[in-house]
A and B are shown apart, each in its own frame.
Chain A
């Protein structure tokens, strides 16, 4: 099976959907002539031309709102945010218009839009460019939130997101763009809302999403090597819809839970998961649920310290031992 990067997997997904559906259009800052700030859309302008691959001014509220309006009339815009952090500039458009238009029109209007871009810390770009707003986005009924951690998932989930008739916020990760993985040549789709057991184990469930999953897999190796602990690693892949079934099955199997994520701890995805698990699987728990998240402060610039602010394999390893203590 071909091995490609996460970046290429995203590009292939958009390429295939552009080829399949004439209503798909890519809009964003630097997506065309510049090939994308992170080169995700490289080559698409040459292949599809400026009508389908549209460079926008730096004007997030304007162009995201424009995309939402065009989706109401039947286009399928895929909007790139150079940094997902810039979503906040268009907050009203996303959360008042895209999220609510179907509801407030009593189901008369759909908004099949994808808003995608990297949402992560760890690149020393400071607090304004390092937001991880999964929980903020998923808080809003009407919105779907997807966070792929591998090239295979990035492609299959993005294709599903583009075909989805509801607004999808698709959060990528600059630290993963260069990571490689096996991706088949033949077309495939991954349904939104299906978690994936990345590694099977019986002693503890480490559950999370995004790059934290790659760290969790390293931590699971360390746990096996040093303590012969078999950790199960569950990648949510999608925050809303959420695969509660796979999460709860893992919890009922291992009886111990460590939740991991790159976001801040307060009102986060892991906080919501902890609530769901205690409501639906309390009797299966042999120990309190613990979490490993980013430290609760704006993202620090200082490179060595930013590494420490974020989750690390070591912190996940330590967190798992604390649950198992």
Chain B
């Protein structure tokens, strides 16, 4: 389903008889690796379900909580093909990517609770998870605002001569932001190793794609910049995600070329927990997706058919994920809040590193 751009920058096209399971990157997977993908998807879902309970019962989590439920195969598939020098950045629906790169549930849940033990010490909240040690650069709240940053990370990789790429995620609502188009232009112009990934869940908040975006394809806009692009039609299929994303990463690694992937997916919950979703879609639509394309169910069935999973292993994974999520909620509950003194920390590097402070004068005002 990879489409040709009008430019000479060709990429392979082959749709007939396409079977994502059979492509080399998937065919060579060991059973353990497959089970790990399944486990990560389950962990994301159970973690978020636990978050939802904390949000709704007792108001332990405030503000926004953008749940990734339904989209788990995208983050897990994409992260599974990251190399050691690859980086990742996304918008505010960022829990799945965090768990996929290896962040712990404890630090993530504590962040949602606004606790000092959170990954951002309770200063960022649900939308702002970061783990630079795992090359995860957030977690950004403004639609499309992270896209120039991801482009800059790719720029820095190229500047430093590192053969890595930056997977820069955005939602389908972001494609109409100017900053996204400016980034596309810079990435194509300067041949930056970036893979733009549009997680198209069909709705930018409560506005469907057809009510918000002109043209036939969101990814197809890349053609205007002479960039390669492709659509991952079955975003619920972790294998198809891995196949298409690994090809885009290869293009970035080997030729330092950007590309745009549109991964079709679906979210089950509202835009944020605080937003009802009954005004813009039918319950039947959600149920239809859940019953036919749920990424965890589909993958579970496939692995059971392959003989990789059985009821016993599934139960173990499910129980462990639930227990891990429950433990994280207890950890968050028992953790301390940041102090009043903490409010003014982590604002300026200099203030937090007084031994290396070079400036004088006041940086804060009462």
A and B from one assembly? yes
Residues of A within 8 A of B (CB): 25, 51, 56-57, 59, 61-75, 92-93, 96-97, 101-110, 112, 141-142, 144, 160, 163-166, 189, 191-195, 238, 240-245, 272, 276
Do B138 and A241 touch (CB < 8 A)?
no
The listed residue (B120, B360, B361) touching A105 by CB distance below 8 A is B120
Say if the beta carbon of B352 comes within 8 Å of chain A. Answer: yes
Do A102 and B346 touch (CB < 8 A)?
yes
A residues near B146, Cβ cutoff 8 Å: 97
Do B153 and A61 touch (CB < 8 A)?
no
With contacts A25-B159, A97-B140, A142-B347 taken as known, whether A57 is within 8 angstroms of B149 at the C-beta atoms is no
Q: How far is the CA of A13 from the CA of B189 in the complex (A)?
A: 29
Do B350 and A66 touch (CB < 8 A)?
no
Say if the beta carbon of B196 comes within 8 Å of chain A. Answer: no
Do A105 and B182 touch (CB < 8 A)?
no
Do B120 and A106 touch (CB < 8 A)?
yes
With contacts A93-B145, A106-B120, A240-B363 taken as known, whether A164 is within 8 angstroms of B156 at the C-beta atoms is no
With contacts A68-B152, A74-B156, A109-B130 taken as known, whether A102 is within 8 angstroms of B349 at the C-beta atoms is yes
Do B183 and A65 touch (CB < 8 A)?
yes
Do A65 and B149 touch (CB < 8 A)?
yes
Given contacts A70-B152, A141-B348, A244-B361, 4 further A-B contacts (CB under 8 A): A63-B148, A109-B132, A163-B358, A192-B358
Do A59 and B182 touch (CB < 8 A)?
yes
**Cβ distance A86 to chain B, nearest Cβ, rounded Å:** 13
CB-CB nearest 3 A-B residue pairs: A69-B152, A65-B148, A193-B361
Task: Look across to chain B and name the residue whose beta carbon is closest to the beta carbon of A165.
Answer: B349
Residues of B within 8 A of A (CB): 87, 89, 118-124, 128, 130-132, 137-142, 145-157, 159-160, 178-179, 182-183, 185-186, 189, 345-350, 352-353, 358-365
Do A243 and B361 touch (CB < 8 A)?
yes
The listed residue (B119, B160, B178, B182) touching A106 by CB distance below 8 A is B119
Do A62 and B149 touch (CB < 8 A)?
no
A residues near B353, Cβ cutoff 8 Å: 165
Q: How far is the CA of A62 from the CA of B155 in the complex (A)?
A: 12
B residues near A109, Cβ cutoff 8 Å: 130, 132, 137
**Cβ distance A61 to chain B, nearest Cβ, rounded Å:** 5
Q: How far is the CA of A142 from the CA of B344 in the complex (A)?
A: 10
B residues near A242, Cβ cutoff 8 Å: 361-362, 365
Of A62, A63, A102, chain B has the most CB atoms within 10 Å of the CB of A62
Do B359 and A72 touch (CB < 8 A)?
no
Q: How far is the CA of A104 from the CA of B130 in the complex (A)?
A: 9
Task: Look across to chain A and name the residue whose beta carbon is closest to the beta carbon of B140.
Answer: A97
Q: How far is the CA of A195 from the CA of B119 in the complex (A)?
A: 38
Do B159 and A68 touch (CB < 8 A)?
no
Do A67 and B178 touch (CB < 8 A)?
no
A residues near B147, Cβ cutoff 8 Å: 65
The listed residue (A69, A101, A141) touching B148 by CB distance below 8 A is A69
**Cβ distance A72 to chain B, nearest Cβ, rounded Å:** 6
The listed residue (B142, B153, B186, B363) touching A59 by CB distance below 8 A is B186
How many A-B Cβ pairs are below 8 Å?
193
Of A67, A112, A163, chain B has the most CB atoms within 10 Å of the CB of A67
Do B148 and A105 touch (CB < 8 A)?
no
Of A64, A71, A106, chain B has the most CB atoms within 10 Å of the CB of A106
Task: Look across to chain B and name the residue whose beta carbon is closest to the beta carbon of A105.
Answer: B130
With contacts A164-B359, A193-B359 taken as known, whether A62 is within 8 angstroms of B151 at the C-beta atoms is yes
The listed residue (B138, B152, B352) touching A66 by CB distance below 8 A is B152
Q: How far is the CA of A4 from the CA of B185 in the complex (A)?
A: 39
B residues near A67, Cβ cutoff 8 Å: 152
Do A72 and B149 touch (CB < 8 A)?
yes
Do A160 and B153 touch (CB < 8 A)?
no
B residues near A64, Cβ cutoff 8 Å: 148
Q: How far is the CA of A157 from the CA of B132 in the complex (A)?
A: 30
Q: How far is the CA of A164 from the CA of B168 in the complex (A)?
A: 28
A residues near B152, Cβ cutoff 8 Å: 65-73
Do B156 and A70 touch (CB < 8 A)?
yes
**Cβ distance B247 to chain A, nearest Cβ, rounded Å:** 24
With contacts A72-B153, A105-B124 taken as known, whether A57 is within 8 angstroms of B189 at the C-beta atoms is yes
Q: How far is the CA of A102 from the CA of B124 in the complex (A)?
A: 10
**Cβ distance B314 to chain A, nearest Cβ, rounded Å:** 36
Provide 13 A-B residue pairs closer than 8 Å at the C-beta atoms, listed in order of the A residue. A69-B148, A70-B155, A93-B148, A97-B148, A101-B138, A102-B349, A103-B124, A104-B123, A105-B130, A105-B138, A192-B358, A192-B359, A243-B362
Do B361 and A238 touch (CB < 8 A)?
yes
Do B148 and A62 touch (CB < 8 A)?
yes
Task: Look across to chain B and name the residue whose beta carbon is closest to the beta carbon of A63.
Answer: B186
Q: How far is the CA of A92 from the CA of B123 in the complex (A)?
A: 19
**Cβ distance A159 to chain B, nearest Cβ, rounded Å:** 11
Do A57 and B145 touch (CB < 8 A)?
no
The listed residue (A63, A92, A160, A238) touching B145 by CB distance below 8 A is A92
Of B87, B89, B159, chain A has the most CB atoms within 10 Å of the CB of B159
